[in-house]
Chains A and B, each alone.
Chain A
Amino acid sequence: MTVHDIRVGESKRGDASDGGADAVGGRLSRVDGPAKITGAAKYAVEQQLEGLAYAVLVESTIASGKVRAIDSKAAEAAPGVLKVLTPDTIISLKTASDWFGTPPPDRPYCPLARDITFSGQHVAAVVAETFEQAVAAAAMVKVSYDETPSIVDLSDGKAGDGIPVDAMTKEWGDAQAAFASAPVRICAAYNTPREYQAPMEPHGLIARWEGDHLTVWEPSQWLDGMARTYAEWFAVPFENVRLVSPYVGGGFGSKALALSHGAVAASAAKMLGRPVRLVMTRAQTFTGYGGRAATRQTVTIGADHDGLIQSIVHRGVNETSIDGMWVEPLGSVTSIMYATPNFSSRQNVVRVNSVVPGAMRAPGENPSAFGIESAIDELAYEVGIDPLEIRLRNYAEQDPHAKKAWSTRQLREAFAAGAERFGWARRTPEPRSMRDGNYLIGWGVAAGTYPVRRAYGEAVVRILADGSVEVESSSIDMGQGTYTILAQTAAETVGVSADDVVVKLGDSRFARAGVSGGSRLAGVMTGAVYKAASSALDQLIGLAIGDPRSPFHALQANTLVVANGRITAPRGDGPDVSIADLLKSVGRDRIEATGDTMPANSTAEDRYKNYTTIAMALPHTEGDYSRHSWCAHFVEVRVDEDFGTVRVSRVVSALDSGRLYNPKLAESQWKGGIIMGIGQALLEEGIVDRRHGRIVNNNLADYLVPTNADIPDIEVISVGIPDLHSSVLGGKGVGELAIVGMAPAIANAVFHATGKRIRDLPITLEKLI
């Protein structure tokens, strides 16, 4: 019912321009595309279940204080209402461990709040027979509060300097002294606002209990991690929780963890003994979980007159919530992008009355790059050197922080390829020197990077009686192409057409998988599928050679060739048999292999930890190498001088993600990142009412994301080479890379166009008129 079997043959094939679309590296089109376009794809909360009840959340309308009382009488008496959940009536849960698996304190967890720390916090929920009844009754729940003053945001006078995060400190040399004696000095502050992931599919779930077994249908970037959290909340064994998430309508980091609304729905299902569905409203998606934290950075650079950097001093601050901790690592790009003998980066977090911020596409690297990639541009103008040239002069030949060789760093190649395609050489250096009628034209450049996050993966590959191949994994596809690249990997490894591969994902009963975040899924899962498929192939060849019933038995060959679903001898001097016929002749209805990339001596405990936490993730600087993806963005903007409106008219980006498993899908992810970067640079900002501590533009009419009309033709160029230090098949990260550096490239282009340096995102028209 819920498992999704995707067959490649159902989709329009990609072009086979580079050596067959089926193989790894081919441009196979998304195999899940037709199901999504035609509406056949059934998303998590679309399951039709017998006896489904509907839950609707009631949220706090103050940002700070205590719930004095909840009057739910009217709601309880309303038609169809089954239950009103409040902190007093909801069942008690246990606190779950965090995503590192740190054992939690032994205290109860209540997903409905008595102590209010932000506006929009869940305080109650109404469950009714129909959604409409639940909505109406939720509006009747009367909550009274004792309100206390709130800290609205980073600029609130009460916010203070915050708490130092020592783990973020990175220092070498004597940065302060070197800055003081540098002949050229620049210092500037850069701010980014709250931003939101805004996935098309809002958060929600259906929870159903059968005895002490829980099934949750929920969009998820991490089935096993979320299953663990549910299991711990409800104190049931991990095996008793099944998460199902066949399709995910966008996550961008926001769907990796089980969240409090999930605890509410699963509690309601348990209390009622009925399946319960809860879906957030669009407005609730702005406060029910965290977007990107607002950040402040100061970047000081000391350099010589040739633009050679002598010192970088960086200070960063990000907001977190009153009782949660989110650190947005602001020195991550600052510390590796350029060679500098002296460096200092430190970071504080400041508590404000907001929901705890969360992961959003390239957390850390994204705002970090806005700081350093704007600052280096400022330095370029200060010393009168081309912004591209200054980046090359300060090129880091090794990781300046880890002091290790790069595994691969094709950034110089990216600059060269991008500049060539963009025509950078034709740029006139002076700000305001390029014009077309009312439009000032600006050309900007910036670089981006994202670390290669690695983990171990597992997959099951079966060769079935009809010769087809089946791949199973509890990893997910949120649009980035997992179904497709795993089909390609299995097809190439076993030697069948991708049409004959069925990929099953999104069910925690399948072979386990870690988080789909940090751009790690493709590298981890292609490796695991490659291993499992290789071992299935070995079994197949072993049977063909060794089984007395096999037509190849008499050949006494060492090995055989499997291609296009047929088995032959290497020199073509024996039988030519289909996989199906071979299995039939040896009396087998399937071959099954489980493959994983875990170290050989791993215990069951290690495996559990690997798939349900991020504690086993391998550092990107492990061993002798520092592993990162890299990119260079070249951007043209047109700024209407009278109106201050900025439109991006051209983007050329050259990117190094290592080997691409499917260039078509990688390009589309890169373009998605670039588009999101355009939104971040020009449009996106959560706007807070300072008196109420509440986000007022909590909907997609007022929180602006780019429309097609805002997006020019985007050209992306792959400059990567296989990087076997980064993954089994040589790929690095794709998903997050391209957003990193887009906002500073646009801000730099705006400076070139207008002579105005905008250091506060987004760059809205009133900042330019």
Chain B
Amino acid sequence: MRDFSYLRATSADAARQTAALPGAMLLAGGTTLIDLAKCGIAEPDTLVDITHLEGLDRIEIDERGAIIGALATMSHVADHADIKGRFPAISEALWQAASAQIRNMATIGGNLMQRTRCPYFRDPSNFAACNKREPGSGCSAIGGVTRGHAVLGTSEACIAMYPGDLATALVAFDATVHLGDRRILVDDFFLLPGTTPDKEHAIEPGEMITAIEIPSSAAVRRSTYLKVRDRQSYEFAAASAAVGLELEADGRTIRDLRVALGGVATKPWRARAVEDALKGKMLEPEAVRAASLLAVEGAVDHGANHYKIELAPRVVARAILKMGETA
């Protein structure tokens, strides 16, 4: 039997230090970690439970932005009146994620650290080859069932899709991750697979996510998260878009636009090409649809996931046009 020890952290510093020891892992809501342990992927020797740490679940909002503690639960953040009012895309991304039960348990820090749903990654006893799990072992997905795999940001080593919704909204609005005193843009926190798909985040041993910070902007105030999926609820995105829009005083010219894609890329995907093509332009359906096609520039499919290349620009266009209608 795999014995492991369970420690309840008494301070953030103690948690960080303990979790830096070999075989130790932080435990927050456990909705990812315990699942992965059951799949035989995570095999921690020590679990450091951080859910009892005081103060790390705070949500602080002022005119500069929102700081959300790593231990705030998904449901708490999604329901927060000021998050809903001033950062709607964040709330919408959260309440459309997972299920009510999971959202009640899961934390914001754990959410950023969730792993891919690639079925080959999740079944080590049947599929030995997975570069993300075992660097250099190969990739079982390429040539296999790829309907849910990424079309953007892939490499020859790994085509696994990043499944999270929240981080997609975060990259659209230049949010940063607080790792104690260190700050890093969410966009930089998530790494492309390249030749090292096992390394997913710019986080080092001894570091812990303490908060995320979302700067205020007119675009985030007028934002949305549109998630398209096979099932109406409790499913990951087939394609999603976080969009924020700021119009000039004329109510028609685009001053600022933020676009990020979910469900189609190996990391939360900022679509700057779409933003650049539309900034300064009139908000018109034709122009929006044409520009949205830039969202999937450079996309590569693996057969069954080809539909994502068609779908993603349509989701982006719909989200932008929807924001345009809300004056």
Contacting residues, chain B, for A704 (C-beta < 8 A): 230-231, 235
A707 proximal to B (CB < 8 A)? yes
- Write the chain A residue with the least CB distance to B2: A136
Contacting residues, chain B, for A710 (C-beta < 8 A): 231-233
Binary A-proximity of B215-248 (CB < 8 A = 1, otherwise 0): 0000000000000111111110010000000000
Find out whether the CB atom of B228 lies under 8 angstroms from the CB atom of A645: yes
Of A78, A136, A696, the residue contacting B119 (CB under 8 A) is A696
Tell me, in angstroms, the Cα distance from A470 to B117 when the chains sit together: 52
Within 120-161 of A, Cβ neighbours of B (below 8 Å) are at 130, 132-133, 135-137, 139
Q: In angstroms, how far is the closest chain B Cβ from the Cβ of A166?
A: 37
- 7 extra A-B contacts, CB within 8 A, seeds A642-B317, A707-B232, A707-B234: A136-B1, A139-B40, A642-B315, A645-B228, A647-B232, A696-B144, A696-B145
Tell me, in angstroms, the Cα distance from A228 to B299 when the chains sit together: 59
B interface vs A, CB < 8 Å? Answer: 1-2, 40, 117, 119-120, 123, 125-127, 143-145, 147, 228-235, 238, 306-307, 310-311, 314-315, 317-318
Within 686-719 of A, Cβ neighbours of B (below 8 Å) are at 687-692, 694, 696-697, 701-702, 704, 706-710
Tell me, in angstroms, the Cα distance from A338 to B28 when the chains sit together: 60
Tell me, in angstroms, the Cα distance from A642 to B228 when the chains sit together: 11
Within 624-649 of A, Cβ neighbours of B (below 8 Å) are at 640, 642-645, 647
Tell me, in angstroms, the Cα distance from A696 to B127 when the chains sit together: 10
A769 proximal to B (CB < 8 A)? yes
Contacting residues, chain A, for B232 (C-beta < 8 A): 647, 707, 709-710
- Write the chain B residue with the least CB distance to A692: B126
Of B1, B40, B125, B147, the most chain A CB neighbours within 10 A belong to: B1
Tell me, in angstroms, the Cα distance from A708 to B145 when the chains sit together: 28
8 A-B pairs in the complex with CB atoms less than 8 angstroms apart: A438-B318, A647-B232, A683-B231, A691-B144, A697-B119, A709-B232, A765-B230, A765-B311
Tell me, in angstroms, the Cα distance from A130 to B311 when the chains sit together: 49
Find out whether the CB atom of A702 lies under 8 angstroms from the CB atom of B318: no
Of B127, B145, B233, B310, the residue contacting A707 (CB under 8 A) is B233
Given A136-B2, A139-B125, A692-B126, A643 and B315 touching (CB < 8 A)?
yes
Contacting residues, chain B, for A697 (C-beta < 8 A): 119, 145
Of A139, A645, A647, the most chain B CB neighbours within 10 A belong to: A645
Q: In angstroms, how far is the closest chain B Cβ from the Cβ of A685?
A: 10
Find out whether the CB atom of B310 lies under 8 angstroms from the CB atom of A769: yes
The count of residues in chain A whose C-beta lies closer than 8 Å to any C-beta of chain B is: 42
Find out whether the CB atom of B143 lies under 8 angstroms from the CB atom of A683: no
Find out whether the CB atom of B1 lies under 8 angstroms from the CB atom of A130: yes
Tell me, in angstroms, the Cα distance from A702 to B120 when the chains sit together: 12
Q: In angstroms, how far is the closest chain B Cβ from the Cβ of A754?
A: 15
Tell me, in angstroms, the Cα distance from A764 to B127 when the chains sit together: 27
Q: In angstroms, how far is the closest chain B Cβ from the Cβ of A636?
A: 15
Name the prevailing secondary structure of the A interface residues: loop
Find out whether the CB atom of B125 lies under 8 angstroms from the CB atom of A61: yes
A interface vs B, CB < 8 Å? Answer: 61, 78-80, 119, 130, 132-133, 135-137, 139, 438, 640, 642-645, 647, 682-683, 687-692, 694, 696-697, 701-702, 704, 706-710, 764-766, 769
Find out whether the CB atom of A642 lies under 8 angstroms from the CB atom of B314: yes
Q: In angstroms, how far is the closest chain B Cβ from the Cβ of A412?
A: 35
Count how many pairs of residues, one from A and one from B, have CB atoms less than 8 Å apart in the complex.
87
Contacting residues, chain A, for B235 (C-beta < 8 A): 704
Find out whether the CB atom of A702 lies under 8 angstroms from the CB atom of B230: no
Tell me, in angstroms, the Cα distance from A36 to B306 when the chains sit together: 45
Name the prevailing secondary structure of the B interface residues: loop
Given A133-B1, A769-B307, A694 and B126 touching (CB < 8 A)?
yes
Find out whether the CB atom of B307 lies under 8 angstroms from the CB atom of A765: yes
Tell me, in angstroms, the Cα distance from A130 to B40 when the chains sit together: 18
Contacting residues, chain B, for A135 (C-beta < 8 A): 1
Tell me, in angstroms, the Cα distance from A708 to B144 when the chains sit together: 32
Contacting residues, chain B, for A643 (C-beta < 8 A): 228, 311, 314-315, 318
Find out whether the CB atom of B2 lies under 8 angstroms from the CB atom of A702: no
Find out whether the CB atom of B144 lies under 8 angstroms from the CB atom of A645: no
Of B1, B126, B229, B307, the residue contacting A766 (CB under 8 A) is B307
Q: In angstroms, how far is the closest chain B Cβ from the Cβ of A709?
A: 4
Contacting residues, chain A, for B125 (C-beta < 8 A): 61, 139
Tell me, in angstroms, the Cα distance from A691 to B144 when the chains sit together: 7
Of A644, A690, A710, A766, the most chain B CB neighbours within 10 A belong to: A766
Find out whether the CB atom of B145 lies under 8 angstroms from the CB atom of A689: yes
Given A697-B119, A702-B119, A766-B307, A642 and B318 touching (CB < 8 A)?
yes
Contacting residues, chain A, for B143 (C-beta < 8 A): 691
Find out whether the CB atom of B233 lies under 8 angstroms from the CB atom of A696: no
Of B1, B306, B311, the residue contacting A132 (CB under 8 A) is B1
- Write the chain B residue with the least CB distance to A642: B314
Contacting residues, chain A, for B230 (C-beta < 8 A): 645, 682-683, 704, 764-765
Q: In angstroms, how far is the closest chain A Cβ from the Cβ of B90?
A: 21
Q: In angstroms, how far is the closest chain A Cβ from the Cβ of B236?
A: 8
Q: In angstroms, how far is the closest chain A Cβ from the Cβ of B227?
A: 10
Tell me, in angstroms, the Cα distance from A238 to B123 when the chains sit together: 41
- Write the chain B residue with the least CB distance to A131: B1
Of A119, A139, A687, the residue contacting B126 (CB under 8 A) is A119
Q: In angstroms, how far is the closest chain B Cβ from the Cβ of A281?
A: 9
Which 4 A-B residue pairings sit nearest by Cβ, starting from the closest?
A: A766-B307, A709-B233, A709-B232, A642-B314
Tell me, in angstroms, the Cα distance from A32 to B144 when the chains sit together: 46
Tell me, in angstroms, the Cα distance from A139 to B40 when the chains sit together: 9
Tell me, in angstroms, the Cα distance from A689 to B145 when the chains sit together: 6
- Write the chain A residue with the least CB distance to B231: A704
Of B2, B119, B127, B233, the most chain A CB neighbours within 10 A belong to: B119
Q: In angstroms, how far is the closest chain B Cβ from the Cβ of A70?
A: 15
Contacting residues, chain B, for A78 (C-beta < 8 A): 1
Q: In angstroms, how far is the closest chain A Cβ from the Cβ of B115?
A: 13
Tell me, in angstroms, the Cα distance from A468 to B312 when the chains sit together: 66
Contacting residues, chain B, for A690 (C-beta < 8 A): 144
- Write the chain B residue with the least CB distance to A767: B307
Tell me, in angstroms, the Cα distance from A134 to B40 when the chains sit together: 14
Q: In angstroms, how far is the closest chain B Cβ from the Cβ of A119?
A: 7
Of A139, A642, A769, the most chain B CB neighbours within 10 A belong to: A642
Contacting residues, chain B, for A694 (C-beta < 8 A): 126
Find out whether the CB atom of A80 lies under 8 angstroms from the CB atom of B1: yes
Contacting residues, chain A, for B2 (C-beta < 8 A): 132, 136
Find out whether the CB atom of A701 lies under 8 angstroms from the CB atom of B117: yes
Contacting residues, chain A, for B318 (C-beta < 8 A): 438, 642-643
- Write the chain B residue with the least CB distance to A769: B310
Q: In angstroms, how far is the closest chain B Cβ from the Cβ of A663?
A: 29
Q: In angstroms, how far is the closest chain B Cβ from the Cβ of A746?
A: 14
